[in-house]
A and B are shown apart, each in its own frame.
Chain A
Amino acid sequence: MELTIGDVAKRFGAVEALRGVSLTVNSGEFYAILGPSGAGKTTLLRIIAGIEKPDSGHILIGGRDLSDIPVRARNTAMVFQTFALYPHLSTFENLAYPLREARVPRDEIKRRVGEIAEMLRLTHTLARKPGTLSGGEQQRCAIGRALIRRPQLLLLDEPLTNLDAKLRHDTRAEFKRLHRELKTTTIVYATPDQLEALSMGARVGVLKHGRIVQVGTPADLYTGPGDDFVASLVGDPPINLVTGTLREGNGGQSIDLPFLGLDAAPWRKALTGFPAGTKLKVGLRPQGIWPRGSSETGPGFPAKVFLTEPLGDVTILDIVAGGDTRLRMVLPQEQAYKIAVDDPIECAVDLQQICLFAQDTGTAIHRSGAEAAA
């Protein structure tokens, strides 16, 4: 079922949780809502679910306005961040609860609980109360309870937050598999974790202070962030944001960074009219900074290694360049193993991976089409 949210606003006392959110989720789509805590993700989901009433705006599911339909009649299911299992009921009864409320016949309940328990590997826990289940089992039970009614719309509110790292990884894959099997179920997945949003969402809507600031595919968000907020939210380790100054030279515009001068030619069109001396935010992906002399080349600068974080396959280097500018870069292990703290390092940047933002508003300054393609 297609979900349309039109200009939804909600305030709690002095706090504006949502300030006019509009978005459309296609039928059967896996849509991720990415935003830091406090951005309004949970409020948005609760409004879609009908638990919370919006102050203004409308929600359409499958073209139908749901404002006056009570929560219990919406055929929408939700997995809560806290799982919200019924603590006094066994796993079986937790899974059976929505069916009992829908007056499904006894033997069909038994059959469907059996099926879903099988699918989610919960069969051995059916007689136990939620308090005795492991975190992963509790989470699968919560998902099972949401899926058992075959809802047309499934809302997931940070369902992985309460799990340990290994389980999170497995469950991400599990969600994708589930989504493929369910086919027609539309999923809205709220998370503060860019990794979850990018890895699972077909599209991602970025929520900031109660507003959707950008909607796009994971690749769109990574390569073409609409502003510095999205840029710093997406990508791991986070993008380096450095303040640069626009210079007017005889060969055209250039951008002065504390440690490097960049040719501004790729942004020429967008920068027309910006006077010399304008401050700009320059975003450099950690993946777009290399040691000079490796196969790729670009404008280079000297730096000093500040600290290293070896992660096994790659190492994250914190380097200091141009006096006191801290930058992060990512190196494959085979290039990083001989680098020690305080070593000098010659770096080069990948011009293709540089983003520009206005200093005050943070809005992206786009490359001119022709140069971007080149």
Chain B
Amino acid sequence: MSQREVRSIGTAGWGRTLTAAIISLIYFFPVLFIILTAFKSRQDALAWPVKFIFTPTVTNFVSVFYRTTVEGGEAEATGFGLYFFNSLFIGGSSVLLALIIGTSAAYAFSRFPLKGNETYLFMILTTRMMPPIVAIIPIFVLFRIFGLSGTYVGIIALYTAFNLPFSVWMVKSFFDDLDRDIEDAARMDGSSEWKVFRKICLPQVYAGLAATFVFAIILTWNEFVFALLLTGTQTRTVPVQIVRTIGGSMGVDWGLMSALETLFIIPVVLVTFALQNQLLRGVTFGTIRR
């Protein structure tokens, strides 16, 4: 049934809870290490043996936004705010677009199959069968010709295209799992085809849409190569900026890097937490008999 109880220690047992906690800690350790380093001074960050007890400082976070780039120079704005916004804006809008277009396509593929439906679906899948980097030269040339380099429209369109096959396939599987009788019942109750989609089918796959959204946003959020080549100074995303920070004239500033990365993971963590209930239902969709 669709009710799901929140499992507490009581139902899982102490042994399992402890095991889960240890495994989580092992997986979480690198992330924890980055977060700790973000709050360390330069000396503490480089200290050996590694310090776990230290006086926290927010210098690194300030440096993310304002710092000197040449020895002895004035502190300047780094533009990180803009890049952060760019990542959010480009990632968010391309994933949303992919989800909207993908959901429409998925519903059509699922409910109104064409002649050669499977072929079309396979063709969509083939676009994910090679590493995207293979297409970099034609894409680069295309962007040049159409003047899309360095524009929001260009990079958003590209990310939308990359996210579409995944969205279509994933959302289609959610639609396929729905009970068709329910739609027929709605038709008999007087619903038009649009209402059947909007009021009956769509609400039933919200969990699936949330899961698809999270998977797609993580992929897009992390994307580096295309962002490096196709964004300009005004549309640069955070992953590109992180790499540019490594190669400063003053060597690798581990504290600064860690602060950048800590800020970078916050939105993904927030989205995942906000949607975690939906996500659980989404990834187990169809595997549990309802």
Which single member of B182, B191, B206 contacts A72 (CB below 8 Å)? B191
Give the Cβ gap from A338 to chain B, nearest Cβ, in Å: 48
For A85, list chain B residues within 8 Å (CB): 182, 185
Which single member of B1, B2, B186 contacts A86 (CB below 8 Å)? B186
* Cβ contacts B178-221/A at 8 Å (1 or 0 each): 01011011111111100100001001101000000000000000
Give the Cβ gap from A113 to chain B, nearest Cβ, in Å: 14
Q: Quick check: A101 and B191 within 8 Å, CB to CB? A: yes
* Cβ contacts B219-262/A at 8 Å (1 or 0 each): 00000000000000000000000000000000000000000000
For B206, list chain A residues within 8 Å (CB): 88
A277 within 8 A of B: no
A136 within 8 A of B: no
Give the Cβ gap from B259 to chain A, nearest Cβ, in Å: 43
Q: Quick check: B182 and A51 within 8 Å, CB to CB? A: no
B43 within 8 A of A: no
Give the Cβ gap from B112 to chain A, nearest Cβ, in Å: 15
Q: Quick check: B190 and A102 within 8 Å, CB to CB? A: yes
* Cβ contacts A59-97/B at 8 Å (1 or 0 each): 000000000000111101110111011111000000001
For B185, list chain A residues within 8 Å (CB): 78, 80, 84-86, 145
Decide yes or no: A131 and B188 within 8 Å by CB, A82-B181, A84-B181 being known contacts.
Answer: no
Decide yes or no: A80 and B3 within 8 Å by CB, A72-B191, A86-B200, A87-B204 being known contacts.
Answer: no
For A46, list chain B residues within 8 Å (CB): 184
How many angstroms from the CA of A98 to the CA of B204 in the assembled complex?
18
Give the Cβ gap from B281 to chain A, nearest Cβ, in Å: 12
How many angstroms from the CA of A241 to the CA of B27 in the assembled complex?
70
Q: Quick check: A101 and B195 within 8 Å, CB to CB? A: yes
Give the Cβ gap from A41 to chain B, nearest Cβ, in Å: 15
For B182, list chain A residues within 8 Å (CB): 84-87
For B192, list chain A residues within 8 Å (CB): 72
Q: Quick check: A72 and B188 within 8 Å, CB to CB? A: yes
Q: Quick check: A84 and B179 within 8 Å, CB to CB? A: yes
Q: Quick check: B187 and A72 within 8 Å, CB to CB? A: yes
Q: Which residues of chain A from 244 to 275 have a CB within 8 Å of any chain B CB?
A: none
For B181, list chain A residues within 8 Å (CB): 80-82, 84
- What range describes how many residues of B lie at the interface? 20 to 34
Q: Quick check: A82 and B179 within 8 Å, CB to CB? A: yes
The winner among B188, B200, B290 for most chain A CB atoms within 10 A is B188
Decide yes or no: A131 and B184 within 8 Å by CB, A88-B204, A102-B190 being known contacts.
Answer: no
How many angstroms from the CA of A265 to the CA of B200 in the assembled complex?
65
Q: Quick check: A77 and B2 within 8 Å, CB to CB? A: no
Q: Quick check: A145 and B3 within 8 Å, CB to CB? A: no
For A86, list chain B residues within 8 Å (CB): 182, 185-186, 200
Q: Quick check: A51 and B188 within 8 Å, CB to CB? A: yes
* Cβ contacts B145-188/A at 8 Å (1 or 0 each): 00000000000000000000000000000000001011011111
For B2, list chain A residues within 8 Å (CB): 87, 129, 131
Q: Quick check: A84 and B204 within 8 Å, CB to CB? A: no
The winner among A50, A101, A131 for most chain B CB atoms within 10 A is A101
How many angstroms from the CA of A46 to the CA of B183 in the assembled complex?
13
A132 within 8 A of B: yes
For B203, list chain A residues within 8 Å (CB): 88
For A321, list chain B residues within 8 Å (CB): none
Give the Cβ gap from A47 to chain B, nearest Cβ, in Å: 12
Decide yes or no: A71 and B188 within 8 Å by CB, A84-B182, A85-B182 being known contacts.
Answer: yes
> In chain A, what residue has the closest Cβ to B203?
A88
A49 within 8 A of B: yes
Give the Cβ gap from A150 to chain B, nearest Cβ, in Å: 13
How many angstroms from the CA of A51 to the CA of B184 in the assembled complex?
7
Q: Quick check: B189 and A98 within 8 Å, CB to CB? A: yes
Decide yes or no: A98 and B190 within 8 Å by CB, A86-B200, A88-B204 being known contacts.
Answer: yes
Give the Cβ gap from A262 to chain B, nearest Cβ, in Å: 50
For A50, list chain B residues within 8 Å (CB): 188
Q: Quick check: B179 and A132 within 8 Å, CB to CB? A: no
The winner among A76, A85, A88 for most chain B CB atoms within 10 A is A88
> In chain B, what residue has the closest Cβ to A151?
B188
For A88, list chain B residues within 8 Å (CB): 203-204, 206
> Considering the complex of A and B, which 5 residue pairs feature the smallest CB-CB distances, nearest first?
A101-B190, A131-B2, A84-B181, A98-B189, A84-B185
Q: List 8 A-B contacts (CB under 8 A).
A: A50-B188, A77-B189, A81-B181, A82-B179, A88-B206, A97-B189, A131-B1, A132-B3
- Other CB < 8 Å A-B pairs besides A72-B191, A88-B203, 15 of them? A46-B184, A51-B187, A71-B184, A72-B189, A73-B190, A77-B188, A80-B185, A81-B181, A84-B179, A84-B181, A87-B2, A129-B2, A131-B2, A131-B290, A132-B3
Q: Which residues of A contact B (CB under 8 A)?
A: 46, 49-51, 71-74, 76-78, 80-82, 84-88, 97-98, 101-102, 129, 131-132, 145, 149
